[in-house]
């Protein structure tokens, strides 16, 4: 049994992490923090979890754990991660604070100075299926954003094969459930404003998650500057679908692409490449750590990829536990199926 703690248990990501950890047969949850509900119990916030007391992060016993999941918002995460690392604890950080290796890029997109740049070198970006060897060794896992996870996993086989036409934009039209917007009350998340509505926001090249996608596309020699990303808020609690339009630099048949995707992802327990003619929907992955990908050939050089994840599952807490499993040499699917 590995002793772990969770910082920031009261948000939706923290809650989902706790729910998975409670069922994980090789994990013992030592503490869970919430500043607003310290002294109380998870059930004060999420009634289905009855047995998890909440403490202030100040009193969290870092000396009793081998790893922590940090579910705090960006910027707030940095000092806590630093403290944990200084105590020798391995960290899975679900915020954006250690995803971008370049502090200038970080500061441009997040508008705050990076206060722990010394940790960036040891951080591993944790799309499990792509970066497994680095994840295995790291003491600081930067868990990816939900949108980037859905987009990168769909693009990866094309990137790896160098098939993307760099002259054409990668257009990702993404749809996300409302839990992705966090638990803070605001008019934007008011039931009556969201229900029966569908809203694009920060479309074009304005959303912070572009930086992560751009980074990964660049790593594989793709054109990271030519990404168009349009997130939309949909009246759904959890779920994410990215519909991605890409151009190829070589003719491909549906069968060729199917083979390529199926081969590359054959041993990945959480990636489902749908067969020809099927389309990924949110229902393919809801309440799971799965990513479902469908490939639609419009013309020999023009594709539509549909990529579905649960924004709280593979898009956050699920992938975090998958990465934890990799870091601690546990079979990857434990606690997640």
- Measured from the CB atom, the residue of 145 and 239 that comes closer to its own copies is 239
Q: Are 293 and 153 in contact (CB under 8 A)?
A: yes
Q: With 0-12 CB in 10 A as exposed, 13-18 as middle and 19+ as buried, what is 124?
A: buried
Residue tagged active-site, from 70, 71, 146, 306: 146
Name the minimum Å distance from CB 91 to its own copies: 27
Return d(Cα 309, Cα 292) in angstroms, integer.
7
- Measured from the CB atom, the residue of 192 and 329 that comes closer to its own copies is 192
Return d(Cα 15, Cα 179) in angstroms, integer.
11
User: Cβ neighbours of residue 260 under 8 Å, at least 6 residues apart?
Assistant: 157, 161
Q: With 0-12 CB in 10 A as exposed, 13-18 as middle and 19+ as buried, what is 190?
A: exposed
| Binding string, residues 217-236; x marks residues near its own copies by CB under 8 A | -----------x-x-x-xxx
Site for its own copies in 245-274 (CB under 8 A): 245, 272
Residue 146 known to be catalytic: yes
Q: Are 49 and 92 in contact (CB under 8 A)?
A: no
Among 28, 108, 160, 190, binds its own copies (CB under 8 A): 190
Contact region for its own copies (CB under 8 A) — 18-26, 67-75, 137-145, 152-160? 18-26
Among 86, 102, 237, 333, binds its own copies (CB under 8 A): 237
Name the minimum Å distance from CB 278 to its own copies: 9
* 117 CB-side CA count, 13 A: 9
Query: Nearest to residue 126, comparing CAs of 80, 94, 88?
Result: 94
Among 59, 187, 266, 329, binds its own copies (CB under 8 A): 187
Query: Nearest to residue 252, comparing CAs of 160, 180, 163?
Result: 163
Query: Nearest to residue 122, comparing CAs of 144, 106, 138, 146?
Result: 138
Return d(Cα 316, Cα 321) in angstroms, integer.
9
Name the minimum Å distance from CB 27 to its own copies: 14
Contact region for its own copies (CB under 8 A) — 22-30, 82-90, 119-127, 132-140? 22-30
| Binding string, residues 160-179; x marks residues near its own copies by CB under 8 A | ---------x-x-x-x-xxx
Among 284, 293, 309, 314, binds its own copies (CB under 8 A): 284
| Binding string, residues 123-162; x marks residues near its own copies by CB under 8 A | ----------------------------------------
- Cα-based distances in Å from 46 to 15, 30, 51, 115, 159: 8, 19, 11, 32, 41
**Which sequence positions are flagged as catalytic?**
146
| Footprint of its own copies (CB under 8 A) | 12, 22-23, 25, 46-48, 50, 169, 171, 173, 175, 177-179, 183, 185-187, 189-201, 203-205, 228, 230, 232, 234-239, 241, 243, 245, 272, 279-288, 290, 292, 296-298, 302, 304, 306, 337
């Amino acid at each position: 049994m590995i002793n772990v703690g969770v910082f920031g248990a009261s948000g939706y990501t923290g809650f989902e992490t706790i729910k998975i950890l409670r069922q994980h047969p090789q994990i013992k949850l030592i503490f869970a923090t919430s500043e607003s509900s310290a002294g109380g119990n998870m059930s004060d916030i999420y009634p289905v979890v009855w047995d998890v007391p909440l403490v202030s992060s100040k009193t969290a016993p870092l000396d009793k754990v081998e790893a922590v999941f940090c579910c705090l918002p960006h910027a707030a995460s940095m000092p806590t991660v630093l403290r944990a690392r200084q105590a020798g604890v391995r960290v899975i950080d679900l915020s954006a604070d250690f995803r971008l290796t370049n502090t200038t890029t970080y500061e441009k997109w997040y508008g705050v100075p990076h206060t722990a740049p010394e940790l960036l070198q040891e951080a591993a970006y944790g799309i499990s299926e792509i970066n497994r060897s680095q994840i295995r060794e790291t003491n600081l896992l930067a868990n990816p954003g939900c949108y980037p996870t859905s987009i990168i996993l769909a693009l990866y086989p094309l990137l790896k094969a160098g098939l993307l036409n760099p002259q054409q934009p990668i257009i990702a039209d993404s749809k996300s459930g409302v839990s992705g917007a966090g638990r803070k009350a605001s008019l934007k998340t008011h039931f009556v404003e969201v229900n029966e509505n569908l809203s694009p926001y920060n479309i074009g090249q304005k959303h912070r998650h572009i930086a992560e996608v751009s980074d990964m596309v660049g790593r594989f020699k793709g054109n990271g500057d030519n990404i168009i990303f349009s997130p939309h808020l949909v009246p759904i609690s959890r779920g994410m679908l990215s519909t991605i339009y890409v151009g190829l630099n070589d003719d491909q048949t549906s069968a060729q692409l199917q083979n390529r995707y199926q081969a590359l992802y054959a041993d990945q327990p959480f990636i489902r490449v749908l067969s020809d003619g099927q389309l990924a929907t949110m229902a393919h992955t809801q309440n799971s750590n799965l990513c479902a990908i469908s490939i639609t050939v419009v013309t020999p050089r023009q594709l539509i990829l549909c990529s579905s994840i649960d924004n709280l599952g593979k898009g956050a807490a699920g992938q975090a536990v998958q990465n934890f499993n990799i870091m601690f040499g546990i079979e990857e699917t434990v606690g997640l199926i």
